[in-house]
Amino acid sequence: MKKTTTTITAKQIAIAVAAVCASLSMPAAANENKAMLDLMLKKGVITKKDYDDFMAANKDADENKAFKDSRIDKDVSKSITFIQKRANDGAVKPSGFGWVSGDGKSELNLTGRVHFDTRFISNIVPTAFESDADTAGTGNQFDFRRARIGFNGKLWNDFNYEMVWNGNAVGGAGSTLNIDTAWFNYSAKKEAQLRVGRFKQPFNLEDYGTSSNNIDFIERSYVNQINPGKKIGLMLHGVPSDGTAYGVSVFNQNDTQTSSSGNIQFAGRLATDLGKMARWTDKFLHLGVAGTAGTYDTGAVAVATNEIQHIRSEPRGMNAYRPTFTSTGNLLPEISKDAVGLEFAYGQGPFKLQAEYAEVNFNARDNSRIVDAARGQYRMQYVALVYNLTGENWYDSYKDGAFSSVKIKSNFDSSGSGIGAWQIGLRFSEYNARDLQATQGGTLTTADSGSNSGKTTTVGLTWFLNPNSRIMLNHAVTNFDQPITERFLLGANGTAGRVIGDREAVTTLRAQYNF
């Protein structure tokens, strides 16, 4: 009998141990396990000493677990708090190209772009290639079209800013042209913002509404040539409602110049998306109107012959038209310039149709404002069709009267998992300056001034490798209404009467990277 009791007690103890183990592994059932042990004690299955020992062990285990859980909770809480604090403590941004302040109200972002072009030009002598403020000299067959580095960001949430240095500006290091943009903007209210400094003036969808990183073709159209571009001034601008944007500015026509005319111009632009009014969710219909007005001097000192405004061939092959006039006496030559521009763009799915028309009126005279030398009008226009072969939606790239970069569906990957985005484009553009005429008291130089009208057809293929890189191939053919002479292109170094031709063909390949 004793032997049997001993055997039962061992089994009973084993069962009790299992119960304790269960209680340790299942804290939520601790009360039920205690009730079971109480019953076993009452029935004599276990002794009081066994009961006390098991309960003490269980209590120690529960206390240890509670301590561990509490410590883990505190560690996790501290880690989350640490991460949240470090997210805005001046550390490098996830992109690696900027910093943010500890309170998150201020930030600085590094920016840059490099556009490297390779060009092949027919019918034009090499020394006659076009130059402008983005090149280190005359355009060559290998050309850093743009090389810029800068920074932008915000201050105290209510202000934003930008400063960009142009690494290949005409004039070299230290030139004022090395400052591409430098502005400070009050942005607390998106409906009414105030910008001061050097910035794009509000005129032209291709320029004001589209960064050079995002333009559809390697070069902008003829319309852009009468655009004020980047000037020093002050601008009131904003987005009063979803899809509508405006800008009104006053600026210096010339960045560094002694002027008796005040050298002041005004510009304004209003753009809206009628698709927002129609509550479209997958397409847009952009309409815009812009204008400029003002008077400026063509130079800081009086010279015998003054250029009104030249026109270059659209792919920057050469200066196509260069009208000049003679002013009276030793007075500064002065030009009144008024322009108006109209904008249209429609996008649905991968298709976009875009067009602009602009005209500018000139009145050239000496600054006594007594004798007119020349007056007339330039007219420029283009129509462009662009299609995303890989299906990217244009609606995703348009907002408030401006275009951002194409939203690529899949970045290019050499393993074959992504091909990037592919795009084709076709543009027809034209300039016409036939209305420019000499007036009383002045002389307008017409001999060897080039061609006062021309038409250009451009076809383009663009490969977006990723949001920061793309390769562009354009072929542009221009037909002029008058033959271009060597004397026009080379001046005194050209042979009088020698004709270069009335047609120019330019093929350009661009490799582009920006961040």
> What are the backbone dihedrals phi and psi of residue 323, each rounded to the nearest 5 degrees, phi first?
-80, 140
Predicted TM-score (pTM) of the model is: 0.77
Q: Identify whether residues 402 and 445 lie together within a single domain.
A: yes
Task: Check residue 167 and give its pLDDT.
Answer: 80
Residue 207 has pLDDT above 60, yes or no: yes
35-74 tens-digit pLDDT:
777 777 777 777 877 777 777 777 666 666 666 666 667 7
- What pLDDT was estimated at residue 369? 58
Query: Which range among 218-227, 300-309, 323-332, 443-452 has the greatest average pLDDT?
Result: 218-227
pLDDT average, residue stretch 84-97:
57
The pLDDT tens digits for 324-338 are: 776 665 566 778 889
Domain of 370, CATH number, reads 2.40.160.10
Indicate whether 205 belongs to any domain.
yes
- The β-bridge partners of 358 are 341, 380
Among 86, 113, 147, which residue terminates a domain? 86
Calculate mean pLDDT across residues 382-409. Answer: 96
Residue 73 shares a structural domain with residue 122: no
Cα separation, 273 vs 288, in Å, equals 9
Q: How confident is the model at residue 254 (pLDDT cuts 50, 70, 90)?
A: confident
169 shares a domain with 147? yes
Closest by Cα among 346, 341, 388, 347 to 360 = 341
CA distance 349 to 406: 12
pLDDT tens figures, 335-375: 888 999 999 999 999 999 999 999 999 887 776 655 566 78
For the stretch 441-456, pLDDT in tens is 555 555 456 888 999 9
Structural domain of residue 384, as residue ranges?
Answer: 98-514
Looking at the structure, do residues 374 and 435 belong to the same domain, yes or no?
Answer: yes
Give the number of domains in the chain: 2
Residue 440 and residue 350 share a domain: yes
Residue 366 in domain: yes
Say which residue, 208 or 304, is predicted with more confidence. Answer: 208
Boundary (domain end) residue, out of 62, 86, 110: 86
